[in-house]
Amino acid sequence: IIVGDDVSTDRTKEIKTVIKNITVIRNSENLKFVRNNNNAARYAKGEFLLFLNNDTQVHKNWLKPLVEVFKSYKNVGIVGSKLVYPDSKLQEAGGIIWNDGSGWNYGRYDNPEKPEYNYVRETDYVSGACLMIQTGLWKQLNGFDEHFAPAYYEDTDLAFRARKAGFRVMYQPQSVVTHFEGISNGKELTEGVKKYQVQNAKKFRERWREILQEENFTNGKDVFLAKDRSKNKKQVLVIDHYVPHFDQDAGSRSTYSYILLFLKMGCKVTFIGDNFYKHEPYTSILQQKGVEVLYGNDYCQNIHQWLKENGQFFTHVFLHRMHIAPKYLDTIKKHSTAKLIYIGHDLQFISSSRKYKLTKDPGHLTDSKKFKTIETRLFNAVDVICPFSSYEAPFIQEIVPHKQVVTLPVYFFEKVYENTPGFDQRKDILFVGGFAHPPNKDAVLWFVNEVFPLIKKELRDVKLHVVGSKPPAEVKALANDNIYVTGFVPDDELERYYQTCRVSVIPLRYGAGVKGKLIETCYYQLPPVISPVAAEGIPDIEKYCIIEEKPEEYAKKVVNLYVNKERWNHWQKKCKELVKLNFTEEATRHLLQKILL
């Protein structure tokens, strides 16, 4: 900690007698803000420099989030905090500079808890009241330019110079600092140091005139784009039923993966969850990744007005699920020129038809007809339909032959999973599935009642692990000495199950679309025995997985896979091949690039 004592007349001169292990630099003359900071910074030795005004109070856990931005994002040079007034109103959530050189404290006097102020993003500048910079970059730029001495616009100029050197300037909302603005320099533009604000604005405008005209917006215009410097970015809006609980169910994991890939591809991403609830920790995780998540009662009540005002800025809108997409479709089509992409996750009319064939309940047949009407309307209304299943794609194309249909992988992976344990290090059988999805309940009950007893006759010591969130009473009731029902487990524990079990089973009897649990078990190279429904949607799946639906044959194939090491090694290798061929991030990126044109 370095204290730059700029000829203080208060008790600052006594600080070293109160606080130990600090460095105090006492100036012989009043250097003012720019020169005092430059002088004190010469004594710094750390990887980062943090400038903190004397008229600030830091909040709990304010420091670590600033450092985390440097670790989590590439090419970051400067990071700033959320500044609030003593009355808790927002002072600044990053700064906007307009093309005339004037500036806004984004969000000034507003509620600092609003969603638009609470995601990590690029910004034109951050206030020198609390500013962290890489020490190496600070030295490279020779600190604050004394052209702006004694104060004002030095922090803005520093941000622009950092960007020119190839670094990003970021805003971190989890770092909160109260700033008693005006205590140091006053508030009147014609008096004291404050008068330099007007003079330095002119200097700044003259220095950066060309950049301002090229990169920045007209004063007060297009704030939606200006707030995070996304003028030349694809603007992607994702709408789903709720913030993706990526460790709870396959659909959420898929949505979350695509959001992260959009970010990697340089898009600005806004997310609307139809329940407008701030699910944690999932909302904060997305916000820290750089996603603007809309939540709360204000957005819930006024989302269509928000879409009317901001729909113009989006280039692409991804509408998820048959029961969610219709709520937003008409407003978006009316107030946006964005390309509309529908992701249904699976075809509900097919799923309900299969339920009818299984149960003979006429209600499912009625549902199937109703769902086909809704889905057909959606297909006709959007520009691109993206099923996760190659089995479903022809059904869609037959309904709307004039539309673009692009089959996307439900899951994809940055690299192939390595160091998976071998046959001898494994035992037991695994079923994975979130039980908010009804086909998973049906599958487990069928497997336990019809198949597992046959397996136990051959493998007396084998156990079945049923892993997944929200198991209903009927599934919990299956638990005994041979069947473990875990409920929700975090990702690291789920990975342990994939590493230690010898065979996975996916005995789905109805449903539609590619099954995320199948891709996941193949990613971890745990060979599965699957049903025809589970196999659906992946080309040539019979080359990579064992498929069966009759109880006796299903049991035999599980037992044969479980006891035959050579057979097990063959199918484990096939799992790896399947992922490399169809479920890599690189291949998915190429598909998305066609859609994002």
Q: At what angle do helices 551-563 and 565-582 cross, to 10 degrees?
A: 100
Q: Which of 324, 42, 36, 325 is nearest to 185 (CA)?
A: 36
Question: Given the structure tokens 């906007």, which residue do they identify?
Answer: 96
267 neighbors 234 (Cβ within 8 angstroms): yes
First to last CA, the chain: 50
* Model pLDDT, residue 250: 84
The domain segmentation of the chain, as residue ranges, is 31-226, 236-412, 423-586
Q: Are 488 and 469 within 8 A, CB to CB?
A: yes
Chain centroid to CA 473: how far?
33
Return the bridge partners of 5, or none. 26
Answer yes or no: same fold for 236-412 and 423-586. yes
Q: Hey, what CATH topology would domain 31-226 get?
A: Spore Coat Polysaccharide Biosynthesis Protein SpsA; Chain A (3.90.550)
Which residues are CB-contacts of 539 (< 8 A; sequence separation ≥ 6)? Answer: 390, 582
User: How far is residue 266's CA from residue 233's CA, in Å, rounded to a whole number?
Assistant: 7
How far is Cα 427 from Cα 553, in angstroms, rounded to an integer?
A: 21
DSSP 419: -
Question: What residues contact residue 555 under an 8 Å CB cut-off, 6+ apart?
Answer: 451, 452, 454, 455, 458
Which structure tokens are listed for 504? 């996975």
C-alpha pair distances (Å), 99 with each of 216, 549, 558: 5, 66, 67
In 3D, which of 291, 192, 195 has the Cα closest to residue 240?
291
> Could you tell me the fold of the domain covering 236-412?
Rossmann fold (3.40.50)
pLDDT at 13: 79
pLDDT in tens, the chain (597 residues): 999 887 888 888 788 888 988 998 888 888 888 999 999 999 999 999 999 999 999 999 999 999 999 999 999 999 999 999 999 999 999 999 999 999 999 999 999 999 999 999 999 999 999 999 999 999 999 999 999 988 789 999 999 999 999 999 999 999 999 999 764 554 555 555 667 788 899 999 999 999 999 999 999 999 999 999 999 999 999 999 999 999 888 889 999 999 999 999 999 999 999 999 999 999 999 999 999 999 999 999 999 999 999 999 999 999 999 999 999 999 999 999 999 999 998 888 888 888 888 889 999 999 999 999 999 999 999 999 999 988 899 999 999 999 999 999 999 999 889 889 999 999 999 999 999 889 999 999 999 999 999 999 999 999 999 999 999 999 999 999 999 999 999 999 999 999 999 999 999 998 877 888 999 999 999 999 999 999 988 989 999 999 999 999 999 999 999 999 999 999 999 999 999 999 999 999 999 999 998
Q: Are 354 and 533 in contact (CB under 8 A)?
A: yes
Chain mean position to CA 307: 21
Q: Report d(CA 25, CA 143) in Å as an integer.
A: 17
What is the identity of the amino acid at 37? Answer: N
Token pair of 350, please?
């097919």
Count CA within 13 A, CB hemisphere, residue 92: 25
Residue type, position 166, single letter:
G
Asked if residues 314 and 358 have their Cβ atoms less than 8 Å apart, the reply is no
CB 529 within 8 A of CB 561: yes
Please give the structure tokens belonging to residue 408: 């996307």
Half-sphere exposure (Cβ direction) of 417: Cα atoms closer than 13 Å: 22
User: What confidence score (pLDDT) does residue 350 get?
Assistant: 86
DSSP 3-state assignment of 100?
coil
Question: Among residues 271, 323, 261, which one has the least CA distance to residue 295?
Answer: 271
Instruction: Tokens for 42, please give them.
Output: 């010469």
- The per-residue pLDDT for 79 is 99
Q: Which long-range contacts (CB under 8 A, 24 or more apart) does 334-339 make?
A: 334/308, 335/307, 335/308, 335/311, 336/307, 336/311, 336/312, 337/312, 338/235, 338/237, 338/311, 338/314, 339/315, 339/383, 339/384, 339/595
Beta bridge mates, 319: 239, 342
Question: Which alpha helices (DSSP H) does 165-249 contain, by range?
Answer: 196-207, 209-215, 223-226
Residue 81, classed as helix, strand or coil, is strand
What span, in angstroms and rounded, lies between the C-alpha atoms of 484 and 474? 13
Homologous superfamily of domain range 423-586: Glycogen Phosphorylase B; (3.40.50.2000)
- Cβ 83 vs Cβ 179: under 8 Å: yes
The DSSP string of 323-355 is: TTHHHHHHHHHHH--PEEEEE-SS-HHHHHHHH
SS3 letters for 225-260? Answer: HHCCCCCCCCEEEEEECCCCCCCCCHHHHHHHHHHH
- Retrieve residue 455's tokens: 């397996």
Give residues with Cβ within 8 angstroms of 20, minimum separation 6.
none
Residue pair 343/319 in contact (Cβ under 8 Å)? The answer is: yes
CB 393 within 8 A of CB 409: no
Cβ atoms 328, 305 nearer than 8 A = no
Q: At what angle do helices 250-264 and 516-523 cross, to 10 degrees?
A: 70
Burial class of residue 10, CB neighbours in 10 A (0-12, 13-18, 19+): exposed
Instruction: Note the helical H segments in 389-451.
Output: 392-399, 438-446
Tokens of 79: 């990071």
pLDDT digits (tens, 9 = 90+) for 192-215: 566 778 889 999 999 999 999 999
Q: What percent of the chain has pLDDT over 70?
A: 98
- The span from the CA of 65 to the CA of 411, in Å, is 30
